[in-house]
């Protein structure tokens, strides 16, 4: 097995893009990141590729394992054609040990995440904790029984609530948040024109984000309804509306992740027309 560490995003892109595209929906995070990095138009925060860990593990048959980490976020992995290889994982873990990178955790397809965590803890002498069991859903047609509603892009006047809603989403997902930082993120998202707002009689009630855009697939995330407005069908309407926008833009599929510990969101997405395609796991490491 041969480990290759990349310092040039373009070289990494050309080596792994075709491989990641074999399972485009499944690779929404690593593939989306590679596309963003290769485009090079945005180096804000984690998008600066100078800070990324980019690696492949190969044998005589070609690349067997692809790894991307965009600090401070977790490592994402893809085993080519979903064929996990224990030797490739050992090669990757031992190789990372000789770099400046510290891996806070892994987020990947379930079996691969588990295998990496077992290998990483054995080689590095750390502990691992499963944080989330997730499910990846895919949609190619919105359920026609879901009524059409209008959504709009966020705008500067939404700064009255948007940073707090972003914080609320993070708290719901058990992510550490800071309202001041979320304010910066909110203005960034407004400028990027990716977060949509659903209003009821002029009052904002729910947001949904159109995230990573790939060749035929676009991701959806950051679905948030403030507690006061919950259980009124707003999330269903908002996600369905943004999903329709994705398809209208020419993408063949819309995809999203759910936390399996939240039966409400899983039920909502199935109602809209999303079908599960794979399970994933988020695991953190501690000394």
pLDDT band at 259 (very low <50, low <70, confident <90, very high): very high
Provide the mean pLDDT of the chain.
Answer: 93
CB neighbours (10 Å) of residue 254?
A: 28
Under a CB-based contact definition with an 8 Å cutoff, are residues 6 and 51 in contact? no
Q: What are 165-224's pLDDT values in tens digits? A: 988 888 877 665 554 556 788 899 999 999 999 999 999 999 999 988 999 999 999 999
CA 196-176-212 angle, 5° bins: 40
Complete domains list, the chain, with CATH: 2-125 (3.40.630), 139-279 (3.40.630.30)
Q: What are 9-66's pLDDT values in tens digits? A: 999 999 999 999 999 999 999 999 999 999 988 888 889 999 999 999 999 999 999 9
Residue 70 burial by Cβ neighbours in a 10 Å radius (0-12, 13-18, 19+): buried
Name 137's bridge partners.
Answer: 256, 276
């Amino acid at each position: 097995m041969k480990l290759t560490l990349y310092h040039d995003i373009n070289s990494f892109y050309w080596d792994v893009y075709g491989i990641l595209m074999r399972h485009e929906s499944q690779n929404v995070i690593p593939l989306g990141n590679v596309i963003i990095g290769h485009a090079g138009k945005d180096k804000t925060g984690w998008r600066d590729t100078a800070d990324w860990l980019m690696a492949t593990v190969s044998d005589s048959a070609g690349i067997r394992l692809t790894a991307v980490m965009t600090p401070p976020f977790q490592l994402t992995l893809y085993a080519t054609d979903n064929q996990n290889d224990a030797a490739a994982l050992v090669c990757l873990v031992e190789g990372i040990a000789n770099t400046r990178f510290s891996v806070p955790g892994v987020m990947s397809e379930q079996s691969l995440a588990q295998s990496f965590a077992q290998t990483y803890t054995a080689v590095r002498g750390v502990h691992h904790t499963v944080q989330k069991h997730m499910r990846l859903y895919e949609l190619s047609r919105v359920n026609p029984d879901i009524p059409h509603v209008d959504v709009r892009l966020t705008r500067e006047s939404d700064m009255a609530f948007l940073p707090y809603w972003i914080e609320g989403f993070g708290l719901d997902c058990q992510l550490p948040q800071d309202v001041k930082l979320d304010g910066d993120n909110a203005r960034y998202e407004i400028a990027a024109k990716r977060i949509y707002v659903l209003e009821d009689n002029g009052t904002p009630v729910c947001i949904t984000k159109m995230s990573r855009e790939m060749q035929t697939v676009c991701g959806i995330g950051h679905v948030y309804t403030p507690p006061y407005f919950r259980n009124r069908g707003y999330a269903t309407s908002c996600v369905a509306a943004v999903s329709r926008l994705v398809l209208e833009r020419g993408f063949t599929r819309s995809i999203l992740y759910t936390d399996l510990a939240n039966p409400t969101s899983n039920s909502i997405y199935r109602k809209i027309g999303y079908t599960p395609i794979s399970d994933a796991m988020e695991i953190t490491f501690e000394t």
